[in-house]
Amino acid sequence: MSDELAPILGWHFTKGEALRDGRDVVVGEVLRHEGELVMCRAGYHMSVYALDALRYAPGPWVWRVEGRGERLTHADKIVCRERVALWGYDATDVLRAFARRCALSVIHLWDAPEVVKRYLATGDETLLAAARAASWDAARAASWDASRAAAAAAAWAAYAAYAADAAADAAAAAARVSAWECMNADLEAAVFAAHESAGD
């Protein structure tokens, strides 16, 4: 078997325990597409990285899948002739915790109300309504300053883009890749840990 046809592991999300066409996902069942493979339209889709798969998620059910046979590859997804679900579960809690960690990683970029910080740190659902209201209040209060600053920010961004040299562009690109890799590693570690703790 050639390398390009070797099975490949990946991730797929669904809204519930069923595919978009209504069929239940059955662990171990080989799904096979008989027609032409067309990215985003025909075949069985997956992403190699969980963070990429999350971009296309219609819901919180995460599936560890194996793609087999003929495939088409795009930047962040693959469409395969065959796909097999190896395991899966409702990852709502894992995804909410991941989202809170992501929000906390940039909390220093704004003057977040204390209740927002507490909610993000703890996930205490009793704080959610107050945190949401406080966030909206802070956003409304900042809107005038933000609109006045927008023109200056746009001018600065244009200048920075013009003035940036190749080394700076490469450094920025490397930083973005590094941040993405860290986020993906965090998400995949959380998904695997929850799966293993459930004993599936």
Token reading at 129: 């309504």
Secondary structure class of 61 (helix, strand, coil) = strand
Strand partners, 111: none
Q: pTM score, two decimals? A: 0.76
Torsion of CA 184, 189, 192, 194, to 10 degrees: -120
- Helix ranges (H only) for 43-163 are 50-55, 92-105, 114-122, 128-163
Higher-confidence position of 140 and 198: 198
**pLDDT tens per residue across span 180-193:** 788 878 888 888 88
Domain 3-90: which topology? Answer: ADP-ribosylation fold (3.20.170)
Q: What is the DSSP letter of 21?
A: T
Q: Considering only CA atoms, which of 142, 133, 120, 60 is closest in space to residue 94? A: 60
Domain boundaries, the chain: 3-90, 94-198
Predicted confidence band at 2 (pLDDT cuts at 50, 70, 90)?
very low
Average pLDDT, the chain: 81
